[in-house]
């Protein structure tokens, strides 16, 4: 009681004093006092009042400040706890006593700053501002400005950043207050542009005030210039680089023995910004990475690099540039001076390397060209890839410098830099690409065990019978051997004991066959081809040093590369070699097919395996005169005796094998000779790495992918089988050498994985939408938006026939940027279709302005028609009244929003609907199976496993290209989410946004997410369309199924709730003049779509693969009316 009285007295005393200062002030005090006394204890109230009095004393400004203090107090009190309020109060007092105007600024900015700042920082915020004030009136103004700008700045930056900014102002104000003040304005205006880089930016500036304050002004001019040019991204990169600029100064500031004049930071910045100005985003980010790496070693080197970067990019690909760069870094590490010059391209080494690199042919540059080239030659849709990609997969290919193919992709070495001119390198590249394409074009992988050869008697069938007959009584082996082979080539190679030898023969014969075919058809590259062949003969192993069998194989290889060459051969085997050559030569016949290669392999194998693989020292060599040897062609016609010989030979081998198997337990056979284990010959580089078995396996699987959902079962293929098969691969056995079998296992596993992927069993699809997400009670209350990009929408409850108020929360996000590869590839893959679409869309525009003739009324009479009518009149016939023409002016004024379904179900691989399930009747017999697959291939199945979402994306990309020709306004959005409080709404392109490469990159990121709550997404899109002024507005919904979400398609009422809400949302669209259209790829769509779309138009697309094609068509049809 007493205390209370004491305080009351105090208050009234202060009141009186205030009254003395100003009546107005007193009134403000009283009204706020009454308000605050509800919250404050008496002591605080008195403190509060006395602070007010304290700061009001003095000039007019003091009075204002005091008044403001009383006014703002209640505002502040609402927002912060009492304890903090007390501190705030004291801060006000402290600042005001230092400078009244500063106190005033603090007061007026406090309420708005609290929107972004935690109350406990209020005091610190005051403190840092006060620090800027150094006593001068200019610094006073600056500090006040800082206080007043704070709320705006805090919108984009954190308090820590603000502290740094204050420090920056403080540092700079020592040199120039005006500059600091200008910059505060600048920050308020521009800082938001820097996004999350603004912290770094401020830190950089702070450093600049310490080391380089004179440069700051120029630096800002530079920034302004580039902001005008909209090069924010480049500035962000620059900031990251400049942060390293002072690192050495910080490290060893005492150790100040600079050897030369320091590079000015603004000069560096200028060079970087100028040189990156015209580059593509991807290039800039790459250059940034180079620089980031470089600037750690030397700022000057980085500066030099930026100076020369444009001319480098013209000459080199990114990959080549990296190589050049890395060499430079190595030099830099050893010799700073030399390194810096290197990056200016002033050293000989640097120049030389650039020349070599720029002469080289790089796959990145030629990919497109060769894709079309190889496609034209083979008539198949071939991909071009770097061999490295294949080696990385670890499925048996080991050398990334060799070209190869597995029938659907041509793998080429990353770069060719064998010669000192681009022309020669390119010619070499073209030769190897043509050779690989030849394997596809001339059917290397279409080997069919059962197909007749065209030049030989078919020994394969007989040999196969031996295998079976021999084992017929031995059930154990029989089971193994009669197993179905994965490929026809495996089956064929399995006929031989030494399958490695057989494969080597097969490979060289097949390569020879392809060479001959290529040279025959493609006479234009003959010269280059022969050059390549000639150079392939250099560095072959010496025949004289090889054991006999290998020597013969080597002779055959040389002969197959260049039959005109004079080879020195061992005289002893002259006739055998002659016979071999005749066999090889048969492959040059225009009728030779891959089965002929197989037959010739059998014959050559027989001859070679009869020769011991020993080193014979006493051999005599002679030059083989080819002319002499080939005169008696006719003699070489195969007769029955020859065939019988071969058959007998293999039959006996088979018997030997069997008996040796039996004897095996008794140890080594007595036949201990000096015979060496046969080794495969050195590969021929231009012919690449030919792996028929593996290739055929992959080839066959790629043809069949996506058709069945259980290829493994159908083929009895599992990892063990594969492993077994791979263990038997002669070429892998060879390359893996004596390594443990684990490697084989890995390879098998990798292949199995690969095949599984091809098979389209994506483990990611489905199951994404699980219970792991946080639940919100479905019967809960309304939601409120709590952030900038959150919106709440009502939802329609069809049973209650009313809206649930504020039921759904939509989070709008800008889609992050990926790569533009998907976009570019889509355009490339569909370039044919794209042309067509673009043409059709281009036709829309002139149609709008076309002169329409033969009208009953119009702008003017058509002279021709008038003459016609007059003639008719004279001739006494009723003339036509339609003699007018009019220009048809229908201006397009269209805004359209595309809404993509990004639900988890869009991750499903599309099944190729061209082949329904009934069609799936794969024969069990592997031979027939392969034939069956091949048939399918010829019917034009495309390789590749695509998801629904990919097709949605492709459709949109094609449409974008088309829409750009039309000039319609369009926005692209995607949606997904989980639960009503989490509807995700992604913006790929706003309606008013101009198309740019960023949008292409955003589309790349469109991927399957969670569920499909269509209603709120539609409502949000409507909101966007509402803001656009256009004569006709459309909402184009692309989905893959019915709407569904947790609590959206609720139990009992089945899916009707969701369907009805969606319907309602679409009706809302209609009611504000937006025409909705729904395209669904759900084949079950007909049932609910009819209900959902009511009288609105929709289309159910039965064949999903038509989506990219159909979308532009639909759009055209929809907007033309």
Residue 872 C-beta: closest distance to another protein, Å: 6
Choice between 815 and 865, CB closer to another protein: 865
Element (H, E) at 477: helix 475-481
**If DSSP codes are grouped into helix, strand and coil, which group holds residue 366?**
helix
- Give which of 971, 952, 962 is closest to 1074, Cα–Cα: 971
> What secondary structure letter does DSSP report for 909?
B
Instruction: State the binding string over 782-821 for another protein (x if CB under 8 A, else -).
Output: ----------------------------------------
Which of 253, 871, 888, 1084 is in the footprint of another protein by CB under 8 A? Answer: 871
The separation between CA 364 and the C-alpha centre of its own chain, rounded to angstroms, equals 15
Residue 516 C-beta: closest distance to another protein, Å: 15
Choice between 155 and 842, CB closer to another protein: 842
Alpha helices in 191-316 (DSSP H): 198-211, 216-228, 232-242, 247-251, 265-276, 281-295, 299-315
Q: Is the dihedral of CA 490, 493, 498, 503 positive or negative?
A: negative
CB 522 within 8 A of CB 434: yes
Residue 1107 C-beta: closest distance to another protein, Å: 18
Query: For the residues of 717-768, what is the DSSP string, one character each?
Result: --HHHHHHHHHH-HHHHHHHTT--HHHHHHHHHHHHHHHHHHTT--TTSS--
Residue 373 C-beta: closest distance to another protein, Å: 5
Binding of residue 867 to another protein (CB under 8 A)? yes
Choice between 431 and 1093, CB closer to another protein: 431
Stretch that binds another protein, among 138-146, 525-533, 812-820, 952-960 (CB under 8 A): 525-533
Residues 334-393 that bind another protein (CB under 8 A): 368-373, 375-381
CB 117 within 8 A of CB 154: yes
Size of the site for another protein (CB under 8 A): 37
Give the pair of three-digit tokens for residue 950.
């990919």
b/e per residue 405-418 (b: at least 16 CB within 10 A): bbbbbbbbbbbbbe
Stretch that binds another protein, among 86-94, 535-543, 788-796, 827-835 (CB under 8 A): 827-835
Binding of residue 944 to another protein (CB under 8 A)? no
Binding of residue 845 to another protein (CB under 8 A)? no
Residue 619 C-beta: closest distance to another protein, Å: 41
**φ, ψ for residue 471 (rounded to 5)?**
-100, 5
b/e per residue 45-77 (b: at least 16 CB within 10 A): bbbbbbbbbbbbeeeeebbbbbbbbbbbbbebb
CB 222 within 8 A of CB 269: yes
Choice between 182 and 836, CB closer to another protein: 836
CB 561 within 8 A of CB 684: yes
Which of 840, 1007, 1032, 1067 is in the footprint of another protein by CB under 8 A? Answer: 840
Which of 778, 872, 881, 1054 is in the footprint of another protein by CB under 8 A? Answer: 872
Instruction: State the binding string over 462-501 for another protein (x if CB under 8 A, else -).
Output: ----------------------------------------
Q: How many CA atoms lie within 13 Å of 796's alpha carbon, on the beta-carbon side?
A: 20
Binding of residue 836 to another protein (CB under 8 A)? yes
Binding of residue 1 to another protein (CB under 8 A)? no
Residue 856 C-beta: closest distance to another protein, Å: 16
Give the pair of three-digit tokens for residue 833.
């279709």
Choice between 862 and 981, CB closer to another protein: 862
The separation between CA 903 and the C-alpha centre of its own chain, rounded to angstroms, equals 20
Give the pair of three-digit tokens for residue 283.
């290039």
Choice between 472 and 1117, CB closer to another protein: 1117
Choice between 657 and 877, CB closer to another protein: 877
d(CA 500, CA 609): 12
Choice between 382 and 577, CB closer to another protein: 382
Binding of residue 582 to another protein (CB under 8 A)? no
Choice between 171 and 1119, CB closer to another protein: 1119
- Give which of 291, 264, 350 is closest to 315, Cα–Cα: 350
Which of 763, 787, 875, 1071 is in the footprint of another protein by CB under 8 A? Answer: 875
Residue 1077 C-beta: closest distance to another protein, Å: 18
Residue 947 C-beta: closest distance to another protein, Å: 22
d(CA 751, CA 585): 36
Stretch that binds another protein, among 522-530, 710-718, 961-969, 1068-1076 (CB under 8 A): 522-530
Environment class of 934 (CB within 10 Å of its CB; exposed 0-12, middle 13-18, buried 19+):
middle
Choice between 263 and 372, CB closer to another protein: 372
Residue 526 C-beta: closest distance to another protein, Å: 6
Binding of residue 870 to another protein (CB under 8 A)? yes
Give the pair of three-digit tokens for residue 114.
């609290």
Choice between 369 and 455, CB closer to another protein: 369
Residue 1116 C-beta: closest distance to another protein, Å: 9
Choice between 838 and 1050, CB closer to another protein: 838
Binding of residue 850 to another protein (CB under 8 A)? no
d(CA 263, CA 304): 11
Q: How many CA atoms lie within 13 Å of 1051's alpha carbon, on the beta-carbon side?
A: 1
- Give which of 606, 574, 352 is closest to 502, Cα–Cα: 606
Which of 177, 834, 951, 1011 is in the footprint of another protein by CB under 8 A? Answer: 834
Choice between 450 and 879, CB closer to another protein: 879
Binding of residue 524 to another protein (CB under 8 A)? yes
d(CA 887, CA 849): 6
Choice between 534 and 1083, CB closer to another protein: 534
Choice between 845 and 877, CB closer to another protein: 877
Binding of residue 521 to another protein (CB under 8 A)? yes
**If DSSP codes are grouped into helix, strand and coil, which group holds residue 868?**
helix
Choice between 381 and 481, CB closer to another protein: 381
Residue 830 C-beta: closest distance to another protein, Å: 9
The separation between CA 705 and the C-alpha centre of its own chain, rounded to angstroms, equals 23
Residue 687 C-beta: closest distance to another protein, Å: 17
Stretch that binds another protein, among 477-485, 518-526, 1008-1016, 1042-1050 (CB under 8 A): 518-526
Q: Which residues in 769-859 belong to E strands, given as ranges?
A: 790-797, 802-814, 851-855
Residues 526-545 that bind another protein (CB under 8 A): 526-527
Instruction: State the binding string over 413-442 for another protein (x if CB under 8 A, else -).
Output: -----------------x---x--------
The 3 state secondary structure assigned to 526-556 is HHHHHHHHHHHHCCCCCHHHCCHHHHHHHHH
Residues 307-336 that bind another protein (CB under 8 A): none
Binding of residue 846 to another protein (CB under 8 A)? no
Residue with tokens 């999350």: 196
Choice between 523 and 534, CB closer to another protein: 523
Neighbours of 6 (CB within 10 A): 13
Residues 707-736 that bind another protein (CB under 8 A): none
Residue 522 C-beta: closest distance to another protein, Å: 4
Q: Which chain residues interact with another protein by CB under 8 A?
A: 368-373, 375-381, 430, 434, 521-527, 831-832, 834-836, 839-840, 867-868, 870-872, 874-875, 877
């Amino acid at each position: 009681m007493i205390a209370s009285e004491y305080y009351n007295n105090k208050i009234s005393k202060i009141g009186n004093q205030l009254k003395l200062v100003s009546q107005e002030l007193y009134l403000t005090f009283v009204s706020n006092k009454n308000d605050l006394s509800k919250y404050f204890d008496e002591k605080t109230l008195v403190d509060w009042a006395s602070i007010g009095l304290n700061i009001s004393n003095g000039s007019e400004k003091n009075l204002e400040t005091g008044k403001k203090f009383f006014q703002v107090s209640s505002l502040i009190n609402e927002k912060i706890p009492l304890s903090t309020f007390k501190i705030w109060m004291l801060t006000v007092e402290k600042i005001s006593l230092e400078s009244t105007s500063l106190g005033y600024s603090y007061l007026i900015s406090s309420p708005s700053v609290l929107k972004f700042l935690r109350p406990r920082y209020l005091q610190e915020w005051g403190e840092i501002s006060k620090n800027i004030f150094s006593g001068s009136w200019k610094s006073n103004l600056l500090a006040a400005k800082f206080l007043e700008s704070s709320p705006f700045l805090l919108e984009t930056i954190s308090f820590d950043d603000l502290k740094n900014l204050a420090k920056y102002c403080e540092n700079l104000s020592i040199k120039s207050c005006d500059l600091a003040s200008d910059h505060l304005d600048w920050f308020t205006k521009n800082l938001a542009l820097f996004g999350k880089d603004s912290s770094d930016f401020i830190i950089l500036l702070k450093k600049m005030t310490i080391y380089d304050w004179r440069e700051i002004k120029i630096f800002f001019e530079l920034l302004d210039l580039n902001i005008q040019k909209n090069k924010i991204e480049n500035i962000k990169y620059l900031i990251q680089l400049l942060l390293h600029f002072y690192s050495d100064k910080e490290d060893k500031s005492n150790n100040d023995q600079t050897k030369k004049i320091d590079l000015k930071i603004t000069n560096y910045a200028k060079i970087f910004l100028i040189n990156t100005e015209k580059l593509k985003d991807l290039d800039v980010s790459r250059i940034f990475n180079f620089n980031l790496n470089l600037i750690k070693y030397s700022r000057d080197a980085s500066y030099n690099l930026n100076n020369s970067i444009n001319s480098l990019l013209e000459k080199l690909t990114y990959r080549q540039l990296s190589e050049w760069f890395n060499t430079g870094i190595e030099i830099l590490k050893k010799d700073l001076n030399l390194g810096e010059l290197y990056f200016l391209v002033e050293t000989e080494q640097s120049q030389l390397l650039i020349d070599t690199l720029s002469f080289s042919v790089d796959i990145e540059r030629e990919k497109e060209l060769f894709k079309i080239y190889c496609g034209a030659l083979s008539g198949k849709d071939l991909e071009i890839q770097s061999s490295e990609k294949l080696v990385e997969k670890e499925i048996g290919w080991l050398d990334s410098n060799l070209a190869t193919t597995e029938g659907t992709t041509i793998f080429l070495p990353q770069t060719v830099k064998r010669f000192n001119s681009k022309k020669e390198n390119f010619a070499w590249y073209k030769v190897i690409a043509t050779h690989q394409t030849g394997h596809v074009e001339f059917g290397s992988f279409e080997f069919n065990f059962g197909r007749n050869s065209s030049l030989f008697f078919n020994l394969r069938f007989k040999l196969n019978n031996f295998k079976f007959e021999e084992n017929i009584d031995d059930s154990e082996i029989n089971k193994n051997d009669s197993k179905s082979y994965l490929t026809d080539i495996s089956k064929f190679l399995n006929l031989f004991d030494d399958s490695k030898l057989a494969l080597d023969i097969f490979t060289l014969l097949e390569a020879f066959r392809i060479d001959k075919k290529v040279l025959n058809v493609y006479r234009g590259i003959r010269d280059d081809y022969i050059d390549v062949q000639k150079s392939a003969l250099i560095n072959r192993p010496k025949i004289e040093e090889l054991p006999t069998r290998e020597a013969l194989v080597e002779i055959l290889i040389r002969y197959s590369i260049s039959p005109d060459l004079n080879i020195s051969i061992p005289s002893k085997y002259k006739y055998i070699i002659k016979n071999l050559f005749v066999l090889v030569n048969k492959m040059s016949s225009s009728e030779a097919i891959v089965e002929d290669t197989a037959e010739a392999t059998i014959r050559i194998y027989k001859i070679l395996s009869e020769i011991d693989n020993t080193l014979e020292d006493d051999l005599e060599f002679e030059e083989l005169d080819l002319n002499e040897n080939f005169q008696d062609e006719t003699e070489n016609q195969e007769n029955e005796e020859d065939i019988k010989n071969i058959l007998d030979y293999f039959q006996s081998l088979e018997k030997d094998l069997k008996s040796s198997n039996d004897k095996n337990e008794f140890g080594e056979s007595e036949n201990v000779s000096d015979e060496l284990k046969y080794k495969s010959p050195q590969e021929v580089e231009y012919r690449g790495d030919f792996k028929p078995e593996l290739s055929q396996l992959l080839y066959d699987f790629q043809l069949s992918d996506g058709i069945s959902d259980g290829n493994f079962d159908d083929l009895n293929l599992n990892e063990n089988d594969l492993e077994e098969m791979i263990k038997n691969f002669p070429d892998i056995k060879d390359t893996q050498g004596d390594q443990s079998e684990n490697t084989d296992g890995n390879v098998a596993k990798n292949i199995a994985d690969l095949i599984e992927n091809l098979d389209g069993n994506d483990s990611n699809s489905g199951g994404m939408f699980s219970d792991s997400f946080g639940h919100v009670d479905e019967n809960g209350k309304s939601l409120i938006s709590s952030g900038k990009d959150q919106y709440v929408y009502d939802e329609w409850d069809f049973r209650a026939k009313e809206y649930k108020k504020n039921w759904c929360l939509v989070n709008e996000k800008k889609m992050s940027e990926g790569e533009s590869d998907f976009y570019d590839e889509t355009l490339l893959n569909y370039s044919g279709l794209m042309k067509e679409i673009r043409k059709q869309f281009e036709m829309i525009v002139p149609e709008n302005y076309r002169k329409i003739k033969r009208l009953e009324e119009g702008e003017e009479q058509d002279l021709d028609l008038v003459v016609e009518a007059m003639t008719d009149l004279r001739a006494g016939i009723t003339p036509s009244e339609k003699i007018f023409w009019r220009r048809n002016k229908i201006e397009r004024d269209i805004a359209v929003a595309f809404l993509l379904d990004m639900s988890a179900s869009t991750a499903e691989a599309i099944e190729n609907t061209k082949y329904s399930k009934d069609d799936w009747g794969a024969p069990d017999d592997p031979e027939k199976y392969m034939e069956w697959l091949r048939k399918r291939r010829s019917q034009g199945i495309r390789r590749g496993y695509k998801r629904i979402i990919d097709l949605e994306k492709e459709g949109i990309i094609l449409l974008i290209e088309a829409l750009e020709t039309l000039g319609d306004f369009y926005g692209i959005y995607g949606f997904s989410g989980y639960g009503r409080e989490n509807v995700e709404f992604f913006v790929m392109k706003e309606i008013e946004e101009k198309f740019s490469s960023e949008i292409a990159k955003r589309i790349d990121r469109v991927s399957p997410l969670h569920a499909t709550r269509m209603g709120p997404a539609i409502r949000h899109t409507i909101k966007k369309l509402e803001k656009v002024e256009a004569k006709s507005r459309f909402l184009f919904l692309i989905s893959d199924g019915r709407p569904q979400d947790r609590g959206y398609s609720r139990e009992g009422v089945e899916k009707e709730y969701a369907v009805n809400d969606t319907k309602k949302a679409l009706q809302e669209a209609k009611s504000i003049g937006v025409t909705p259209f729904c395209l669904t790829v759900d084949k079950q769509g007909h049932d609910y779509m009819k209900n959902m779309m009511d009288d609105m138009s929709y289309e159910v697309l039965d064949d999903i693969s038509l989506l990219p094609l159909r979308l532009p068509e639909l759009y055209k049809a929809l907007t033309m009316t």
